[in-house]
Amino acid sequence: MTMQTIVSDPKIMMGKPVVSGTRITVELILEKLSAGETFEDLLRSHPRLTRDGIQAALNFARDALRADVIYPIVESA
């Protein structure tokens, strides 16, 4: 099985990172997982998505957050 990767192309989903060979964004995968959906739920909802694709999205997000960037957190009153 070939490991899917994350790609970004300005012509696809306005350049948002997507799972290669799909129009499924990393953002969508993270939103659905954080809302409580499982890998199996995602795979049923998106037939072109694979477990490798979901894992690639998680790896991409992890690596993006490792960058030397400060993310200020504003507490609401």
Q: Is residue 71 a part of any domain in this protein? A: no
- Kindly state whether residue 76 falls inside one of the protein's structural domains: no
Q: What is the CATH classification number for the domain harbouring 44? A: 1.10.10.10
Q: How many folded domains does the chain comprise?
A: 1
**Residue 25 is assigned to a structural domain of this protein:** yes
> Would 15 be classed as within a structural domain?
yes
Structural domain span for residue 11: 6-66
Per-residue pLDDT tens digits of the chain, which is 77 residues long: 456 799 999 999 999 999 999 999 999 999 999 999 999 999 999 999 999 999 999 999 999 888 777 667 777 75
| 18 Cβ contact partners less than 8 Å away, ≥ 6 residues apart | 6, 7, 8, 9, 12, 24, 25, 26
Residue 52 in any domain: the answer is yes
**Contact between residue 6 and residue 56 where contact means Cβ atoms under 8 Å apart:** yes
| Domain assignment of residue 21, yes or no | yes
Residue 74 lies in a domain: no
